[in-house]
Chain A
């Protein structure tokens, strides 16, 4: 058993692709936690998707043992965290479980927006930060600029930086030494009431919920009755232990340590990220700070492309939810798309990940409707409604005003594109609140922008106008009133629910026109003219017509053709039965799907 002065708990924070996973792998190798022979790239990213896209979605704790040059053995607990803004709550909980963090900066890329955001999170947790300039082996490495950025924008003294190459195995020993020297050991009271922070959890079909935690005070051991402070659930500890990265059961988890714990609880929703676990027989007086119920920020309808897949989709979604408490889903029905789910996500990346996992892991072919954020709708009656679905937006006459969520964003870009980025922000109804130099070539723009604008293509646009160099990070910054309206798409006067959206009035006409044009391409001609209209509050803002069919006849029909022709007509008739009838127009579901699949609708 190690006294806690020989324990170091740390996280690695970095912008995407700056080398977090590669460095983690290096540390595992150097400390002989994993064997060179069993080595598999990116050991900690266990999901296929994580490995392939190179993004970390879940936290991955691992315990290493490291002997310093004096021969003293240390227990190093590394928590690999998702770096993306969508998961900032999870990141903040992982960081809360640590005393220090390695801050990785790609020597060729420099500080990016996400780096800033993560550093701010770490500083808020009072973590000791060890800056690591990685990839110094690259010909394009510009260490000087990185050091300048450290001082300029992160106010971290340049001398503290360690120059490394995770790939070439340069600087790893120095990093290990710095972890021991610069990160304080955990402070705690082993005799105090048990207090442990749940910073993540996974669901295992055989073992139930596996909670990842950091013990702050006291200890945990099998047989103990533990209580979750948030919901007062009590359960017996079945097993506890640590990761290497595989799970190693142990006798005890001590104050200061990071590990896992399995109880009899089977419902992932009962063990929430950020909750505090304590000894039921001797509970701690208050929970650890920082617990929040995670709220989805972005909503969208998920529908099976083929209606027959509904049950499968339902099953797949429930499976995904077991490991993703932030992903919510409620059954809903659409006239155009049939049965599906209204789903909530932490953000755009989270939404993309869910969509991708549904297709990859469950082979589901799904479409998503236009995303919405959560609007605060103030009624004339004084009541406030939270609306995340355009369908539920009350009639305009009863609405006093609508507030939409705003984010405070940081955009880092090469100075050359400053003007273009500021234009983009304005175009997206944002406001630039300040600029700071990052170094002699880069600038950081602080801006407030409606969240809704961020989730529809902002990121792609930013990448395009900055030739890939711009980066964005943000955090929620409250609500602001604006002129939001429901845009409806009407087919012969009847709304198509799947295309309703809440948009800013100034964007309604252009968006309406775009969808009308796309619908025009896919809705088959009928015997009569079809009006496709985009309307706001009953006022038409865009219109397209589909001309009536001029004819529906095959010229030739003789004795030999009758059977074939009848069968063909029967098939068409069968197909029409499956069509959706909107405004007495027969529309195949595929038409809606095609329009939704095109970006932006």
Chain B
């Protein structure tokens, strides 16, 4: 029935590189990263990363996207960054017009690093801001300040990296609707084309969850903030194309769109996850274990369950699924696979079913987990 699911000779469409270093650890962070690191650790990381890329080299020759995330890739010193980009250059190749993103923190950027990025071909930068308010940044345990932000954005643009995105966090204890509106306006005023907004979560493993001294904002306020995001962004030409992401049309993050729609991607670095079109696996979330080549953790699933999973996660996006596209991706017929569940969700007003498409409604975005649960 499905010819596609599981074709390991396929070229990866995307490559993700996880840089597990930061300058200090934020309160809310549950990503795998080290708040402090030594030059030796960073050297060992690049060395092992080079090997990981080399091994996958044959399948990295027609990439559509690159995403260097973390952690904070921009904390690497310029020579380290140049070295890492060199590895990528040696082992991977992108098709013309590919999207090459690197996450940056305004606190750790500098002109040299930006030059190195540009030289390699990075054409999209995602800048972690989280909040413009010093008070709220403090609650987040987010060190540093945003003084140099305008300089670096200008510098990025000067180097031709003009596809800029920003990250903001809402639902911070003590944050008002007015605070959030201000953050949104300041972010849009930066001339960005993409905005990710995350509701603050008390992720297991974060300091926030461990300390347990702060309470999440009430769900009603969180929903108001979520709605406000699109209300402020709409007049500026921004469309919410995924639960937490807005972009000017044409500037959606292609890398993540691929991830949500079941595109095969390779993740390199500790804690990075991969998907070859059939199976998923995760590298150990521990620098030392990863350096020692501890095997990745597989996530095996039947073809049908995998197809359902791909269906479920695609429904986080405004685009949802086109029937042909889904069939092409998974080999399964959408209606065959989950027809009754889709009909029930449409009945509840959470998804809209068109001739060839299924996609979430605005209400559906707010119940994306429920939709996914029904479809899995």
A562 cross-chain contacts in B, Cβ below 8 A: 259, 273, 275, 280, 309, 313
A84 nearest CB across to chain B (Å): 47
Is B215 part of the contact surface with A, judged by Cβ < 8 Å? no
Is A555 part of the contact surface with B, judged by Cβ < 8 Å? yes
Give the contacts of B336-376 with A (CB-CB under 8 A).
348, 365-370, 372-373, 376
Asked if B376 and A566 sit within 8 Å, CB to CB, the answer is yes
Give the contacts of A492-537 with B (CB-CB under 8 A).
527
Asked if B273 and A560 sit within 8 Å, CB to CB, the answer is yes
Asked if A527 meets B16 with Cβ closer than 8 Å, knowing A550-B219, A554-B201, A560-B267, the reply is no
Asked if B299 and A555 sit within 8 Å, CB to CB, the answer is no
Is A397 part of the contact surface with B, judged by Cβ < 8 Å? no
Asked if A570 and B376 sit within 8 Å, CB to CB, the answer is yes
Cα distance A563–B298 in the bound complex, in angstroms: 10
Is A124 part of the contact surface with B, judged by Cβ < 8 Å? no
Asked if A553 meets B368 with Cβ closer than 8 Å, knowing A563-B299, A569-B376, the reply is yes
Asked if B366 and A551 sit within 8 Å, CB to CB, the answer is yes
A556 cross-chain contacts in B, Cβ below 8 A: 198, 201, 244
Interface-centre pick from A560, A562, A572 (highest chain B CB count, 10 A): A560
Give the contacts of A266-287 with B (CB-CB under 8 A).
none
Is B40 part of the contact surface with A, judged by Cβ < 8 Å? no
Name B265's contact: one of A527, A559, A570 (CB within 8 Å).
A559
Name A552's contact: one of B201, B256, B369 (CB within 8 Å).
B369
Cα distance A565–B16 in the bound complex, in angstroms: 19
Cα distance A555–B225 in the bound complex, in angstroms: 12
Is A440 part of the contact surface with B, judged by Cβ < 8 Å? no
Name B348's contact: one of A527, A553, A566 (CB within 8 Å).
A527
Asked if A555 and B198 sit within 8 Å, CB to CB, the answer is yes
Asked if B282 and A563 sit within 8 Å, CB to CB, the answer is yes
Give the contacts of A360-374 with B (CB-CB under 8 A).
none
Q: How many residues of B contact A (CB 8 A)?
A: 39
**Beta-carbon contacts of B290-305 to A below 8 Å, as 1s and 0s?**
0000000001000000
Is A1 part of the contact surface with B, judged by Cβ < 8 Å? no
Instruction: Considering the complex, give the chain B residue whose CB is closest to the CB of A560.
Output: B273
Cα distance A117–B336 in the bound complex, in angstroms: 75
Is A480 part of the contact surface with B, judged by Cβ < 8 Å? no
Is B189 part of the contact surface with A, judged by Cβ < 8 Å? no
Instruction: Considering the complex, give the chain B residue whose CB is closest to the CB of A571.
Output: B373
B190 cross-chain contacts in A, Cβ below 8 A: none
Asked if A563 meets B219 with Cβ closer than 8 Å, knowing A551-B367, A569-B372, the reply is no
Give the contacts of B264-294 with A (CB-CB under 8 A).
265, 267, 271-273, 275, 280, 282
Cα distance A556–B201 in the bound complex, in angstroms: 9
Is A206 part of the contact surface with B, judged by Cβ < 8 Å? no
Cα distance A566–B313 in the bound complex, in angstroms: 9
Name A558's contact: one of B256, B280, B370, B373 (CB within 8 Å).
B256
B197 cross-chain contacts in A, Cβ below 8 A: 555
Asked if A552 meets B198 with Cβ closer than 8 Å, knowing A559-B16, A566-B376, the reply is no
Name B273's contact: one of A550, A551, A559, A573 (CB within 8 Å).
A559
Name A563's contact: one of B220, B272, B273, B370 (CB within 8 Å).
B273
Is A598 part of the contact surface with B, judged by Cβ < 8 Å? no
Is A181 part of the contact surface with B, judged by Cβ < 8 Å? no
B273 cross-chain contacts in A, Cβ below 8 A: 559-560, 562-563
Asked if B373 and A572 sit within 8 Å, CB to CB, the answer is yes
B199 cross-chain contacts in A, Cβ below 8 A: 555
Cα distance A570–B316 in the bound complex, in angstroms: 17
Asked if A569 and B373 sit within 8 Å, CB to CB, the answer is yes
Instruction: Considering the complex, give the chain B residue whose CB is closest to the CB of A572.
Output: B373
Give the contacts of B205-264 with A (CB-CB under 8 A).
219-220, 222-223, 226, 243-244, 256, 259-260
Is A557 part of the contact surface with B, judged by Cβ < 8 Å? yes
Asked if A555 and B259 sit within 8 Å, CB to CB, the answer is no
Asked if A551 and B280 sit within 8 Å, CB to CB, the answer is no
Asked if A553 and B201 sit within 8 Å, CB to CB, the answer is no
A549 cross-chain contacts in B, Cβ below 8 A: 219, 367
A526 nearest CB across to chain B (Å): 10
B244 cross-chain contacts in A, Cβ below 8 A: 555-557
Give the contacts of A554-593 with B (CB-CB under 8 A).
554-560, 562-563, 565-566, 569-570, 572-573
Instruction: Considering the complex, give the chain A residue whose CB is closest to the CB of B219.
Output: A550
Give the contacts of A290-347 with B (CB-CB under 8 A).
none
Asked if B367 and A553 sit within 8 Å, CB to CB, the answer is yes
Asked if B220 and A550 sit within 8 Å, CB to CB, the answer is yes
Cα distance A503–B286 in the bound complex, in angstroms: 62
Asked if B309 and A566 sit within 8 Å, CB to CB, the answer is yes
B219 cross-chain contacts in A, Cβ below 8 A: 549-551
Asked if B282 and A551 sit within 8 Å, CB to CB, the answer is no
B365 cross-chain contacts in A, Cβ below 8 A: 553
Cα distance A63–B369 in the bound complex, in angstroms: 73
**Beta-carbon contacts of A364-393 to B below 8 Å, as 1s and 0s?**
000000000000000000000000000000
Name B366's contact: one of A552, A557, A558, A559 (CB within 8 Å).
A552
B275 cross-chain contacts in A, Cβ below 8 A: 559, 562
Cα distance A560–B281 in the bound complex, in angstroms: 9
B299 cross-chain contacts in A, Cβ below 8 A: 563
Cα distance A551–B244 in the bound complex, in angstroms: 13
A545 nearest CB across to chain B (Å): 15
A149 nearest CB across to chain B (Å): 58
Cα distance A570–B368 in the bound complex, in angstroms: 14
Cα distance A565–B273 in the bound complex, in angstroms: 13
Cα distance A383–B221 in the bound complex, in angstroms: 60
A573 cross-chain contacts in B, Cβ below 8 A: 373, 376
Give the contacts of B67-85 with A (CB-CB under 8 A).
none
A556 nearest CB across to chain B (Å): 5
B366 cross-chain contacts in A, Cβ below 8 A: 550-553
Cα distance A553–B222 in the bound complex, in angstroms: 11
B226 cross-chain contacts in A, Cβ below 8 A: 551
Cα distance A566–B280 in the bound complex, in angstroms: 12
Cα distance A553–B18 in the bound complex, in angstroms: 25
Asked if A569 and B369 sit within 8 Å, CB to CB, the answer is yes
Interface-centre pick from B256, B299, B309, B373 (highest chain A CB count, 10 A): B373
A543 nearest CB across to chain B (Å): 22
A554 cross-chain contacts in B, Cβ below 8 A: 201, 368-369
Asked if A553 and B313 sit within 8 Å, CB to CB, the answer is no
Instruction: Considering the complex, give the chain A residue whose CB is closest to the CB of B224.
Output: A550
**Beta-carbon contacts of B93-127 to A below 8 Å, as 1s and 0s?**
00000000000000000000000000000000000
Interface-centre pick from B197, B259, B348 (highest chain A CB count, 10 A): B259
Asked if A557 meets B316 with Cβ closer than 8 Å, knowing A552-B370, A566-B309, A569-B372, the reply is yes
B316 cross-chain contacts in A, Cβ below 8 A: 557
A553 cross-chain contacts in B, Cβ below 8 A: 243, 365-370
Cα distance A569–B256 in the bound complex, in angstroms: 20
A559 cross-chain contacts in B, Cβ below 8 A: 16, 256, 259, 265, 267, 272-273, 275
Asked if B220 and A555 sit within 8 Å, CB to CB, the answer is no
A566 cross-chain contacts in B, Cβ below 8 A: 309, 312, 372, 376
For the complex of A and B, 4 pairs with smallest distance between CB atoms: A551-B366, A555-B199, A553-B368, A563-B299
Interface residues of B (CB under 8 A from A): 16, 18, 197-199, 201, 219-220, 222-223, 226, 243-244, 256, 259-260, 265, 267, 271-273, 275, 280, 282, 299, 309, 312-313, 316, 348, 365-370, 372-373, 376
Chosen A-B contacts, 27 in total, with CB atoms closer than 8 Å, are A527-B348, A527-B367, A527-B370, A549-B219, A550-B219, A550-B222, A550-B366, A551-B222, A553-B366, A553-B369, A555-B197, A555-B198, A555-B199, A555-B244, A556-B201, A556-B244, A557-B243, A559-B273, A562-B313, A563-B273, A563-B280, A566-B309, A566-B312, A569-B376, A570-B376, A573-B373, A573-B376
- Contacts beyond the supplied A557-B316, A562-B280, A563-B282: 6 A-B pairs with Cβ under 8 Å: A550-B366, A551-B226, A560-B272, A562-B259, A562-B309, A563-B280
